[in-house]
Chain A
Amino acid sequence: MAVTVLDEAPNLRALYAKAAVTAWGRGGDLPTDRLARKGVAVDPAHLAAYTRVCRLPLDDVLPATYPHMLAFPLQMALMSDRSFPLALPGLVHVRNRIDVVRPIGAGEPLDLEVWAERFAAHRSGATVDLCATVSAGGQEVWRSRSTYLARGATAPEGAPAADVEVSVGALDRVAATWRVPADAGRRYAKVSGDVNPIHLSGLTAKAFGFKRAIAHGMWVKARVLGALAGRLPDALSVDVAFRKPLFLPSTVTLSTAQADGGWDAAVRNASSGSEHVVGTIRPL
Chain B
Amino acid sequence: MADTSKPATRKAAIVGGNRIPFARSNTAYAQASNQDMLTATLDGLVARFGLQGAQLGEVVAGAVLKHSRDFNLTRESVLGSRLSATTPAYDVQQACGTGLEAAILVANKIALEQIESGIAGGVDTTSDAPLAVGDDLRRVLISLSNAKTLQDRLKAVAKIRPGQLVPEIPRNAEPRTGLAMGDHAAITAEEWEIGREEQDELAVRSHQNMAAAYERGYFDDLVTPFLGLARDNNLRPDSSLEKLAKLKPVFGTGEGATMTAGNSTPLTDGASAVLLASDEWAAERGLPVLAHLVDAQTAAVDYVHGGEGLLMAPVYAMPVMLARNGLSLQDFDFYEIHEAFASTVLATMKAWEDAAFCKDKLGLDAPLGSIDRSKLNVHGSSLAAGHPFAATGGRIVAQLAKTLHEAGPGKRGLISICAAGGQGVVAILES
Which A residues are within 8 Å of any B CB, using their own CB?
44-45, 48-49, 51-52, 57-60, 106-107, 229-231
Contact = CB atoms under 8 A, between A and B. Distances in A.
A48 B32 contact: yes
> Which 5 residue pairs are nearest across A and B when measured between Cβ atoms?
A48-B31, A58-B36, A59-B40, A229-B80, A230-B81
Nearest to B53: A231
A57 B226 CA distance: 13
B80 A44 contact: no
B228 interface: yes
A107 B31 contact: no
Contacts of A231: 82, 85
Contacts of A52: 31
B81 to A, nearest CB: 5
A191 to B, nearest CB: 13
Interface centre among A52, A107, A230 (most CB of B within 10 A): A230
Contacts of B39: 57, 59, 229-230
B129 interface: no
A210 B303 CA distance: 65
Nearest to B228: A107
B36 A44 contact: no
For the complex, would chain B's binding face be called helix, strand, loop or mixed by DSSP majority?
loop
B130 interface: no
A41 B32 CA distance: 19
Interface of B: 31-33, 35-36, 39-40, 43, 79-83, 85, 225-228
B227 A230 contact: no
10 contacts: A44-B31, A51-B36, A57-B80, A58-B31, A58-B32, A59-B40, A59-B43, A106-B227, A230-B43, A230-B82
Given A48-B32, A57-B35, A229-B80, 11 more contacts: A48-B31, A57-B80, A58-B36, A60-B40, A106-B227, A106-B228, A229-B39, A230-B43, A230-B80, A230-B83, A231-B82
Contacts of A107: 228
B225 A60 contact: yes
Contacts of A58: 31-33, 36, 227
A60 B228 contact: yes
Nearest to B226: A60
A51 B227 CA distance: 13
Contacts of B81: 230
A66 to B, nearest CB: 14
A113 to B, nearest CB: 26
Contacts of A49: 31
Nearest to B29: A58
B228 A44 contact: yes
A241 B228 CA distance: 35
A256 B31 CA distance: 30
Contacts of B85: 231
Contacts of A106: 227-228
A174 B36 CA distance: 25
A44 B79 contact: no
Contacts of B227: 44, 58-60, 106
B89 to A, nearest CB: 13
Contacts of A45: 31
A59 B227 CA distance: 6
Contacts of B43: 59, 230
Nearest to A49: B31
A281 to B, nearest CB: 15
Interface centre among B31, B39, B228 (most CB of A within 10 A): B31
A59 B80 CA distance: 12
A48 B81 CA distance: 18
Interface centre among B33, B80, B81, B228 (most CB of A within 10 A): B80
Contacts of A229: 39, 80
A59 B226 contact: yes
Nearest to A232: B82
B228 A59 contact: no
Interface centre among A44, A48, A57 (most CB of B within 10 A): A57
A230 B79 contact: yes
Contacts of A230: 39, 43, 79-83
Contact of A57 (B31, B40, B225): B40
A51 B33 CA distance: 11
Contacts of B31: 44-45, 48-49, 52, 58
B38 to A, nearest CB: 10
